[in-house]
A and B are shown apart, each in its own frame.
Chain A
Amino acid sequence: MKKNWWKILSLILLIYTIIGGLLFKVPRLPILNETIRNLYFHVCMWFGMMLLYIVSFVYSVKYLLGFQYQNDIKASNFAKVGSWFGILGYLTGIIWVSVTWTTQQGQTLATVLKEPKLIGAAIALLIYGAYFVLRGSFTDIDKRARISAVYNIFAFVMLFPSIWIIPRLVGSLHPGAPGSDSGNPALNRNDLDENMRMVFYPAVIGWTLLGVWIATLKIRLQILKDKKILN
C-alpha cells in the first residue's frame, strides 16, 4: 500500500478537478462562455500525452544503451497510453472547436478543421501510429525492440515541430498562435486566470498519474506474458 500512494493521489486530484473544474469561478469571456472549463480536461490530455511520450522516449534511449528487453516493453506501453491521451485530446478538441470556432462568420466544421494546430497534432499522432505498425511488422523480438526504439526517438523529436513550433509560426485560431496574441496559454503567467491555475495544475498531475498507472498495469501484464523470454 505504501507504494500505491500516488494512485490514491491521482484519484484525489481528479475528484478535486471535477468538483473545482465544474464549480469554481472562471472568467466570463465571450464566445468561450462556460467552455473555458474544458481547459481542465482537453488541455490536460495533451499535457498527459506529452509527459507519457517523454517517459517513453527516455526508456527507448535506455533500451539503446543497455539492450534490456524490459525497457522496450516500458517504452512501447508508455507510448500506447500517450497515444490514447492524444486521441482523447484530439476528440475533445473537435468538440470544443465545433462550438467556439464555428459560431461567428458562418464557418463550417470542415473549414475550421484545416487548422495548423489540428493538422500538426494529427501528423504527430500518425507518426506514433506508424510506430505501432512498425512494431507489429517484426517477428524477431530483438530487431523489433532495436528499430522501434530508434523510430520512437524520431517520433518524439517530430512532436516538437508538428505540435509546438509550426502552429506557432503560422496563423491559427488555437491559443498560442501569433494571431491570438498569447504565448503558451497553459504555462504563461499572464495568459491564465489565477483561479483557473489552482485547478489546472492539479488536474494535469492527476490525469498524468492516471495515465502512468494504466501504463504500469499494461507493462506488468506484458512482463507476465513474456516471462519466458525475460528469464
Chain B
Amino acid sequence: MIKIAKRLRLLALGIFLSLSSFAQEQTEMADVMRSNGKIYVVVAVCLTVLIGLFIYVFLIDRKISKIEKES
C-alpha cells in the first residue's frame, strides 16, 4: 500500500513539474521593444518612408495629368 501511495505521490509531483515548466515556456517576442517604446520609432520610420513614397507617386501623377492636359 505504501509503495502505491509513494508512486502516486511521485506521479503527481511529476505532472505538477511538467505543467509548471510548460507554463513557463514563453515564446520570445519583441516585448522589450514594446516596454521601452522603441517599437514606436520603427513605426514612425516606416510611416515616414511610406508617406514620402506616396508624395513622390502623387507628384508624378500630377505631372502626368498636366502633360495630358497640354497635349
**Is B60 a contact partner of A217 (Cβ separation < 8 A)?**
yes
Interface stretch among A10-18, A92-100, A169-177?
Answer: A10-18
**Is A224 a contact partner of B67 (Cβ separation < 8 A)?**
yes
**Is B29 a contact partner of A33 (Cβ separation < 8 A)?**
yes
Interface stretch among B2-10, B11-19, B38-46?
Answer: B38-46
Bound state CA distance, A213 and B64, in angstroms? 13
Bound state CA distance, A64 and B22, in angstroms? 62
Q: Which residues of B contact A33 (CB under 8 A)?
A: 27-30
Tell me the smallest distance from the CB of B25 to a CB of chain A, in Å: 9
**Is A23 a contact partner of B43 (Cβ separation < 8 A)?**
yes
Q: Which residues of A contact B46 (CB under 8 A)?
A: 18, 22
Contact of B64 among A11, A15, A29, A224 (CB under 8 A): A224
**Is B47 a contact partner of A34 (Cβ separation < 8 A)?**
no
Q: In this assembly, does B51 line the interface, its C-beta being within 8 Å of a C-beta of chain A?
A: yes
Q: Contact mask A53-93 → B, CB, 8 Å, 1/0?
A: 00000000000000000000000000000000000000000
Closest to B34 in A: A23
Contact of B71 among A23, A213, A227 (CB under 8 A): A227
Bound state CA distance, A19 and B40, in angstroms? 9
Tell me the smallest distance from the CB of A206 to a CB of chain B, in Å: 10
**Is A18 a contact partner of B50 (Cβ separation < 8 A)?**
yes
Q: In this assembly, does A220 line the interface, its C-beta being within 8 Å of a C-beta of chain B?
A: yes
**Is A14 a contact partner of B50 (Cβ separation < 8 A)?**
yes
Q: Which residues of B contact A19 (CB under 8 A)?
A: 43, 47
Contact of B29 among A23, A34, A210, A213 (CB under 8 A): A34
Given contacts A11-B54, A14-B50, 10 further A-B contacts (CB under 8 A): A11-B50, A14-B54, A18-B50, A19-B43, A19-B47, A22-B39, A30-B27, A33-B28, A220-B68, A224-B71
What would be 12 A-B contacts, judged by CB atoms less than 8 Å apart? A11-B50, A15-B50, A18-B43, A22-B39, A22-B43, A28-B26, A30-B27, A33-B29, A34-B29, A217-B61, A221-B64, A224-B67
Interface residues of B (CB under 8 A from A): 26-30, 39, 42-43, 46-47, 50-51, 54, 57-58, 60-61, 64, 67-68, 71
